[in-house]
């Protein structure tokens, strides 16, 4: 017998796994990371802006001086030291003790992604409906699809999710909607922010229908013009699970995020997380705790804001100067992404191989809709490439689009 087999294991998978397909973004990363390609496709923070030597020394001390705890197992909810620090971070956005936030109701997760997975484990049965912005975060779509839920998208405009669209989607779901999943601030991928006035209206609608709100807020502190509107959780204490992460304000490689949950929900979240991972990494938690207690983390957020503001401006200027007529795009006040709408007749997914050949990458809009629509859009990232590369990337992209239009 050799090791070869004809079995492709198809009939052995669980039903929920059979419909799983690889994300377009992951497939693209392989080509987009080649050095000759200008990648506007990723979502990577500009880690070189961190004081890496100082972070390295801190990590060394974490092992040599605190190794008996930082290299040991920990508790499922996460260390109390980190949960207290997380409450300080949330207080920056107005989520503080006066709104009922407490370290006791924080659950530390393996990035924002595990936070989403725990939410799905707790609340979604197969066939349940999730209401989400259209477009929405691709990683959330993967989690909801794995839970065999149906995602119903609702329209946004420059002011974020449209309240009337939420009302209509709730009515249409006829009681099967389990929660609203929303990224109100510097939305991924659309780059838009829900206005104060709409925040209140959307909260009122959810309250009236007893619809749970999952507020995903990785980008709220990365504002380029003043402070962003206060999170939904800073306005109401009930009916909201607030999710965030250190991936964009510190470092995604550490994989540390969190959930602030209603007290009644917190214990089930911890049980679900223990079944999933036993406990979050003690070392990664120690690193974030040390970072927040011994290093100028507020200053670092300012540095990220400045770097990204300059790059956002470079992208917006390049788009205005170079894009073919009929192209439109959003103007994000923070975060990492611009959402572009292509001239009539262009298809971002079909165009992708030609773009790669022209050494530029983006994410086709289709990745951000559960139903595969969005071919007329693309997501452009500005946090990673320096301004000159961004401009070169847009120049290449505009060239490809002009060719497509001439075909």
Residue 201 or 255 with smaller CB distance to ligand PMP: 255
Alpha carbons 264 and 352: distance in angstroms, whole number: 47
Residue 335 or 376 with smaller CB distance to ligand PMP: 335
Q: Does 185 bind ligand PMP (CB under 6 A)?
A: no
Among 151, 216, 285, 323, binds ligand PMP (CB under 6 A): 216
Site string for ligand PMP, 238-277 (x = CB under 6 A): -------x-x----x----x--------------------
The one-character DSSP state at 12 is G
Q: Does 42 bind ligand PMP (CB under 6 A)?
A: no
Residue 111 or 374 with smaller CB distance to ligand PMP: 111
Q: Does 78 bind ligand PMP (CB under 6 A)?
A: no
SS3 annotation, 89-150:
HHHCCCCCHHHCCCHHHEEEECHHHHHHHHHHHHHCCCCCEEEEEECCCHHHHHHHHHCCCE
Q: Which stretch binds ligand PMP (CB under 6 A): 47-55, 109-117, 169-177, 297-305?
A: 109-117
Residue 79 or 247 with smaller CB distance to ligand PMP: 247
Q: Does 335 bind ligand PMP (CB under 6 A)?
A: no
Alpha carbons 51 and 58: distance in angstroms, whole number: 11
Residue 76 or 112 with smaller CB distance to ligand PMP: 112
- Residue 29 Cα distances to 171, 187, 248, 401, angstroms: 39, 21, 19, 21
Which alpha helices (H) appear in 125-278, and where do they start and end?
Answer: 138-146, 163-173, 196-208, 263-277
Among 42, 74, 218, 333, binds ligand PMP (CB under 6 A): 218
Among 78, 111, 231, 374, binds ligand PMP (CB under 6 A): 111
β-pairing, 212-216 vs 240-245, is: parallel
Q: Which residues pair with 363 in a beta bridge?
A: 379
Among 123, 137, 297, 329, binds ligand PMP (CB under 6 A): 137
Backbone angles phi, psi at 394, to 5 degrees: -65, -40
Alpha carbons 141 and 126: distance in angstroms, whole number: 14
Among 37, 39, 43, 95, binds ligand PMP (CB under 6 A): 43
How far from chain centre, in Å, is Cα 45? 12
Residue 189 or 286 with smaller CB distance to ligand PMP: 189
Q: How far is the CB of 8 from ligand PMP (least distance, A)?
A: 31
Q: The tokens of 374 are what?
A: 């969005």
Q: How far is the CB of 216 from ligand PMP (least distance, A)?
A: 5
Q: Which residues pair with 181 in a beta bridge?
A: 132, 214
β-pairing, 257-260 vs 129-134, is: unpaired
Residues that bind ligand PMP (CB under 6 A): 43, 111-113, 137, 139, 183, 188, 216, 218, 245, 247, 252, 257
């Amino acid at each position: 017998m050799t090791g070869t087999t004809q079995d492709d294991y198809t009939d052995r998978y669980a039903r929920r796994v059979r419909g799983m397909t690889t994300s377009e973004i992951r497939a693209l990363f392989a080509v987009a990371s080649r050095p000759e390609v200008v990648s506007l496709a990723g979502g990577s923070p500009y880690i070189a802006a961190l004081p890496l030597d100082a972070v390295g020394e801190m990590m060394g001390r974490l092992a040599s001086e605190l190794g008996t705890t930082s290299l040991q197992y920990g508790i499922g909810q996460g260390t109390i030291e980190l949960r207290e620090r997380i409450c300080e971070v949330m207080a920056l956005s107005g989520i503080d003790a006066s709104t009922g936030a407490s370290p006791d109701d924080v659950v530390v997760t393996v990035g924002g992604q595990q936070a989403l997975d725990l939410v799905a484990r707790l609340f979604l049965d197969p066939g349940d409906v999730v209401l989400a912005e259209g477009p929405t975060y691709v990683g959330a779509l993967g989690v909801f699809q794995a839970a065999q839920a149906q995602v119903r998208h609702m329209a946004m405009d420059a002011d974020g999710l449209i309240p009337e669209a939420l009302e209509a989607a709730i009515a249409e779901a006829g009681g099967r909607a389990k929660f609203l999943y929303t990224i109100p601030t510097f939305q991924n991928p659309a780059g838009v922010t829900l206005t104060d006035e709409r925040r209140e209206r959307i909260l009122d609608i959810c309250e009236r229908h007893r619809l749970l709100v999952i507020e995903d807020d990785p980008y709220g502190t990365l504002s380029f013009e003043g402070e962003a509107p206060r999170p939904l959780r800073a306005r109401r204490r009930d009916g909201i699970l607030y999710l965030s992460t250190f991936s964009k304000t510190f470092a995604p490689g550490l994989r540390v995020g969190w959930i602030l949950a209603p007290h009644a929900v917190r214990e089930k979240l911890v049980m679900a997380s223990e079944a999933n991972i036993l406990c979050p990494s003690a070392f990664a938690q120690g690193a974030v705790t040390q970072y927040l207690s011994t290093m100028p983390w507020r200053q670092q957020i300012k540095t990220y804001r400045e770097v990204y503001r300059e790059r956002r401006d470079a992208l917006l200027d390049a788009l205005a100067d170079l894009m073919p007529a009929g192209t439109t795009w959003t103007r994000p006040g923070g975060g990492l992404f611009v959402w572009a709408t292509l001239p009539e007749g262009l298809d971002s997914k079909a165009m992708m191989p030609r773009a790669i050949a022209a050494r530029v990458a983006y994410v086709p809009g289709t990745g951000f809709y559960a139903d595969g629509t969005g071919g007329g859009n693309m997501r452009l990232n500005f946090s990673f490439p320096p301004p000159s590369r961004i401009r070169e990337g847009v120049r290449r992209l505009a060239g490809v689009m002009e060719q497509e239009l001439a075909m």
